[in-house]
Every structure is written in structure tokens, then in C-alpha cells.
């Protein structure tokens, strides 16, 4: 490919809102152009990379036994009503309100409903199972804050696979195959990733893993042990139980006047006690009535863990009226002593000594509160977020890292088949719901995450598997016919050897061309100039290497071939 015949609008300008490196570099390197908030054009160079990623994913999905199909982006809203996900998706679901398609149309943020509808139409016997179907399709999500370039957009490409099974072992096997396929995809992309246990909602167990790339541009946190034996999304991370605090003598229960002093910070300042010596009492309303959660003052309650511990209930923060009813006090003075509703205590609360809590009496707190003596802890669970001082379940120190999710595998069970009555007849002829798994991977996000992982001050440093071209030839002295001819000949020779080559044949200064070459980040570079040509040689180097090697022109192909094979 000749640069002058291609379309690579590199630029020095960076839009003010481009704060993360991948966003800045993708715009400067002429890979993408923003059309609207969260919607991008993939310019030719960027599109080549996206297609590379797509190809790797398709090959690995096929190797893992996936069968490709293609579903529409437009869905009748009725399918989403069947599963109750119109409410669950909330504002994220994009609706075409003024274009009735039957009763209404939405643009698919994911395809569980459509695939389940397709499968229930054709699958009716265990003999047709298992089956794994996948597609590579555009998704639409009205993300509240589309940001960080193509890391989070309103329109993006996802590979989504769905597997259907007659029994749990068959799902487990497909899940494992997909998990391994994901590892291969990220390895082939050259992307450093961490597979972590993920929050899987009420389904629980080992039902979900996320594939994370560690980067400051991410919005998630992963928690892992230094030894690498434990890794989980912060939402999900569990920790070793805390030991009993100390052997201090149990103090007497005391009541102190704390007029208008409610928050952990205020009480901590007023009573000169540390937040870790206080109990936070959180009151929720659920479909089963009020629920109280207790966590240490310096810990944050994790509502996903709490909802699961409570048996999969819906949690809403209690209204002031409910708080009055439950505690007999105004908001801000709740505590565990004397409560007569369901209470779930975090494990860390059960080992506290002489704690400070609300007194269930307006303007009062209690001191010297001891679990077991002053209140029962009948229900104890892990209902909080891990913190840096915690240890892994096996007792190892923990590392917290900012990251972004690039892929997700999930054992769905019968959530969708139950809701949509997608059943099959088992060996005994009884109708049973299909058991399902789903597996998603974001193509655009892989591309941006790779740039986050691989760039320097001068530009992108593509791993060769994802690079838009493997080799860039820079022809200096563009007006010198011999140089132009040698560069063209080498270009043709490399191309007919099956290499993807970009020849910068622009009539521009060498410094300008080198800057652009660094910016677009093609992994291998060959420079042909008048001086080298006089010796019958070209200069070869990898992107990021300081010094080039002089290689006789007839040996350049062999040199490039061997460099293309070695890991950078």
C-alpha cells in the first residue's frame, strides 16, 4: 500500500476532551474520528486493526466449536419485556420511540433475548445439544458518560457467544473452552491481561470471570495477591476473615449526647474515636421488609454482596419514615443494639471490641458496644468491599490495580430460558429449560486497551498481530528516481511474500516522515535513502529501537521475515 494512495490523516491536534493516551493517539494517528459523543468513524488505518482483532476472535471462536450467525441490531421491545430487562437496562437501552416496529423497537445492547428467541424456535430435544452460537455485531448502549475515546462508546463492536446445554457439566465444559479461547485471543493480540473472578449477581459461585487489562484509563479495580493465586474484580473480591481486634477489657455500655452529630466523620471528631472503632448501620427496604446491614465505620458496604447474602432481594435505601419506624430515632442515630428486624453483620463487625454506634435514640450514640454481649449477630457474611490492609482468602497481601474489562464469560443458568420458556425434551421426554452460558468480548476496547498498554511519548507501538501493517518502508529523497524505484521494488517484493507493507512515498522531509512512522506505530521499519542505496543497503529497525541495522537490499526480506516472527 502506498501512503499517497491510502488515507492516513495524522495530526498534531488533540481535542481538549481527549485525556487518556489511547484516545489522543488514535485521533493523532488518524485511526478514528468522532462523529458524535460515543460514536466514531474507523478511518482506514484504524479499521485494518479492528479487522485484525475480528479475525483473531473469529478463528478462536471457530476453533472452540462456536458457530457464527448474525442477528439484527434492531429488536422488538416485546422480547425485552419477556425477560423484564427493559427496566433492568434502564436508560442504557436505546429506544427508537417514534419508529414503531410492531409496538416498539430498541437497539440491542446485547443479544440474550434475541438468541434465546431464535433457539427456542428450533431446539426442542437434548439430541440437538450442546450448541454454541456467536456473532460479531454492533451494540448500542446509551452510556451515561461515553468517554476515554473508544474505551467506552455508545456504539461498539462486540463478539457475543451463547451456549445452550441439557445439563450443568456440559455448560461447565463449554465455559472452560471459552475461557481458554479468550486466553488465546488475548495472547495472540499480545495483550497483557488478568482473568479475575467477577460479580455474577444472584447466580453466584464461580459463574463469571472478567478479562482485565491493567491501565490507569480503566474505571474498574482488580484485587490480586502478589503470588497471583487470587484475582477478582473489586466488586467481587473476598478476603480472609479479620481476627478478633484485641484483648482489651470489655467496657460498660455507655450513652453519650451527640446533638445533631450523625456521620461517621462528625461522630469520630466529636467523640475522638477512629472510624474503624465505629459501626455503620445501614437500613434498607426490601420486598421482604426492612433489612439492616452492619459494617465497620471505615469500610464500605457492597450492596451486591449484601443482596446475595440476603437471598437475592432488591435493596432500596430506607426512607426517613422507615428509619424512624425501625430505630425509633431520626436519620443518623441507628445502631445494632435493640433492633428487632433482620440484621446482617459484616464479619469485620463481629470481631470489634468496645465500638461506637448510634443509640436508636435521636441525638445519642452508644460507646463500649460489644457484639455478642450487646447485640446478637445471627447472620454474618462478607458484605463489604476489600481494602488495602486486607489479605486474600489464603492469607496473602493484596494488590489493587485500576483496570478495564475487555472480555467477560458468564454461566447464565436458566435465567433467560425460564423467562422466555425456552425448553427442550430430555431423555425421559420431560420439558426442561435450556441451560445457558454467554461470552462477550469488545473489539474496539481491545484496540484501545492495546494502545494504553503499548505506547511511548512518540506514538503507538503495535503488537504485530494487531498492527494495521507489519512493515513500513520510508522512502527518503522522494524526488530521487533511484530511491523511489528501490523502495517500490522492495514494497512489491515484501507484498508478494505475503507481508503487509505500507510505503511512505510522500514528498516530505525525512523528520516529518519519521515522526509519523513513530506515531502510527508500525512494528517494523525499513528506510531507503540515497546514501544507503549507494552501498546497496537499507536500514531496518523495530519501532522503538534507537539504532537501525544496515542490511543489503537482497537480504531485507529474510531479515523482515525473521523479525516478524520473533516476539518484540
- Compute the least distance from the CB of residue 151 to ligand ATP, in Å: 6
Is residue 491 a contact point for ligand ATP (CB under 6 A)? no
- x/- string (CB under 6 A) for ligand ATP, residues 51-90? ----------------------------------------
Asked if 459 contacts 521 with a C-beta cutoff of 8 angstroms, the reply is yes
> 335 or 407, CB closer to ligand ATP?
407
Give the torsion through C-alpha atoms of 492, 498, 500, 501, to 10 deg.
-20
Residues 104-143 that bind ligand ATP (CB under 6 A): 110, 141, 143
- Tell me the site size for ligand ATP, rule CB under 6 A: 16
Count of Cβ atoms closer than 10 Å to residue 464 Cβ = 22
> 93 or 526, CB closer to ligand ATP?
93
d(CA 548, CA 15): 34
Peptide bond before residue 295 is cis, with ω within 30 degrees of 0: no
Residues 186-205 that bind Mg ion (CB under 5 A): none
- Compute the least distance from the CB of residue 179 to Mg ion, in Å: 14
CA distances from 424 to 126, 369, 435 (A): 6, 56, 10
> 204 or 289, CB closer to Mg ion?
204
519-544 burial by CB neighbour count: b if 16+ within 10 A, else e? bbbbbbbbbbbeebbeeebbbbeebb
What value, to the nearest 5°, has the Cα angle with vertex 312 and ends 433 and 342?
150
The residues, any chain, with a CB within 8 Å of residue 269's CB and separated by 6 or more, are none
Cα torsion angle, 333, 335, 337, 341, sign: positive
Residues 394-413 that bind Mg ion (CB under 5 A): 408
CA distances from 250 to 244, 277, 330, 371, 446 (A): 13, 13, 29, 10, 55
Residues 414-443 that bind ligand ATP (CB under 6 A): 440-442
> 38 or 468, CB closer to ligand ATP?
38
> 221 or 230, CB closer to ligand ATP?
221
> 438 or 560, CB closer to ligand ATP?
438
Q: Which does 302 bind (CB under 5 to 8 A by kind): ligand ATP, Mg ion, none?
A: none
> How many residues are present in the chain?
568
Is residue 141 a contact point for Mg ion (CB under 5 A)? no
Residue of 30, 407, 459, 523 interacting with ligand ATP (CB under 6 A) = 407
Is residue 153 a contact point for ligand ATP (CB under 6 A)? yes
d(CA 174, CA 171): 5
Residue of 111, 152, 308, 411 interacting with ligand ATP (CB under 6 A) = 152
Strand order through the sheet with 94-96? 74-76, 105-107, 94-96
Residue of 23, 28, 111, 445 interacting with ligand ATP (CB under 6 A) = 445
Residues that bind ligand ATP (CB under 6 A): 110, 141, 143, 152-153, 156, 158, 405-408, 440-442, 444-445
Amino acid at each position: 500500500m502506498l501512503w499517497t494512495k491510502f488515507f492516513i490523516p495524522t495530526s498534531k491536534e488533540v481535542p481538549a476532551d481527549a485525556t487518556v493516551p489511547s484516545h489522543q493517539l488514535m485521533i493523532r494517528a488518524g485511526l478514528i474520528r468522532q462523529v458524535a459523543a460515543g460514536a466514531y468513524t474507523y478511518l482506514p488505518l484504524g479499521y485494518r486493526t479492528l479487522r485484525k482483532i475480528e479475525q483473531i476472535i473469529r478463528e478462536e471462536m471457530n476453533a472452540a466449536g462456536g458457530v457464527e450467525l448474525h442477528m439484527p441490531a434492531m429488536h422488538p421491545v416485546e422480547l425485552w419485556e419477556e425477560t423484564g430487562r427493559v427496566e433492568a437496562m434502564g436508560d442504557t437501552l436505546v429506544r427508537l420511540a417514534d419508529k414503531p416496529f410492531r409496538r416498539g423497537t430498541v437497539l440491542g445492547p446485547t443479544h440474550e433475548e434475541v438468541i434465546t428467541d431464535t433457539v427456542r424456535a428450533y431446539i426442542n430435544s437434548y439430541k440437538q445439544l450442546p450448541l454454541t452460537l456467536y456473532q460479531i455485531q454492533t451494540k448500542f448502549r446509551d452510556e451515561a458518560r461515553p468517554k476515554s475515546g473508544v474505551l467506552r462508546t455508545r456504539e461498539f463492536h462486540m463478539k457475543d457467544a451463547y451456549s445452550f446445554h441439557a445439563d450443568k457439566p456440559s455448560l461447565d465444559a463449554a465455559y472452560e473452552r471459552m475461557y481458554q479461547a479468550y486466553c488465546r485471543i488475548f495472547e495472540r493480540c499480545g495483550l497483557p491481561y488478568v482473568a479475575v473472578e467477577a460479580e455474577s449477581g444472584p447466580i453466584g459461585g464461580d459463574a463469571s470471570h472478567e478479562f482485565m487489562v491493567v491501565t490507569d484509563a480503566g474505571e474498574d479495580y482488580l484485587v490480586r495477591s502478589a503470588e497471583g493465586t487470587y484475582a477478582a474484580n473489586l466488586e467481587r473480591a473476598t478476603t480472609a476473615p479479620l481476627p478478633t481486634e484485641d484483648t482489651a477489657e470489655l467496657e460498660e455500655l455507655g450513652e453519650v449526647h451527640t446533638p445533631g452529630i450523625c456521620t461517621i466523620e462528625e461522630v469520630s471528631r466529636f467523640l475522638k474515636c477512629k472510624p474503624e472503632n465505629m459501626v455503620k448501620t445501614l437500613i434498607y427496604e426490601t420486598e421482604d421488609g426492612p433489612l439492616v446491614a452492619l459494617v465497620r465505620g471505615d469500610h464500605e458496604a457492597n450492596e451486591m454482596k449484601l443482596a446475595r447474602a440476603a437471598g437475592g432481594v432488591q435493596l432500596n435505601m430506607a426512607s426517613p419514615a422507615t428509619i424512624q419506624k425501625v430505630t425509633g430515632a431520626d436519620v443518623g442515630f441507628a445502631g445494632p443494639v435493640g433492633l428487632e428486624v433482620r440484621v446482617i453483620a459484616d464479619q469485620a463487625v463481629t470481631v470489634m471490641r468496645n465500638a461506637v454506634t448510634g443509640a436508636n435514640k435521636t441525638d445519642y450514640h452508644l460507646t463500649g458496644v460489644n457484639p455478642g454481649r450487646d447485640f446478637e449477630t445471627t447472620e454474618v457474611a462478607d458484605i463489604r468491599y476489600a481494602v488495602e490492609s486486607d489479605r486474600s482468602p489464603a492469607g496473602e497481601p493484596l494488590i489493587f490495580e485500576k483496570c478495564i474489562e475487555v472480555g467477560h464469560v458468564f454461566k447464565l443458568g436458566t435465567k433467560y430460558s425460564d423467562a422466555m420458556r425456552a425448553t427442550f425434551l430430555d431423555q425421559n421426554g420431560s420439558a426442561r429449560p435450556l441451560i445457558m452460558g454467554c461470552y462477550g468480548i469488545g473489539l474496539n476496547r481491545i484496540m484501545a486497551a492495546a494502545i494504553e498498554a503499548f505506547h511511548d511519548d512518540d506514538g503507538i507501538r503495535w503488537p504485530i498481530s494487531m498492527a494495521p501493517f507489519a512493515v513500513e518502508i520510508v522512502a527518503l529523497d522522494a524526488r530521487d528516481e533511484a530511491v523511489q524505484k528501490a523502495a517500490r521494488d522492495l514494497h512489491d517484493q515484501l507484498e508478494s511474500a505475503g507481508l503487509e507493507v505500507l510505503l511512505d512515498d510522500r514528498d516530505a522531509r525525512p523528520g516529518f516522515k519519521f515522526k509519523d512512522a513513530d506515531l502510527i506505530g508500525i512494528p517494523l521499519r525499513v528506510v531507503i535513502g540515497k546514501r544507503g542505496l549507494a552501498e546497496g543497503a537499507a536500514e531496518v529497525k523495530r519501532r522503538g529501537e534507537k539504532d537501525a541495522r544496515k542490511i543489503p537490499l537482497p537480504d531485507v526480506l529474510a531479515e523482515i521475515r525473521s523479525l516478524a516472527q520473533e516476539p518484540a
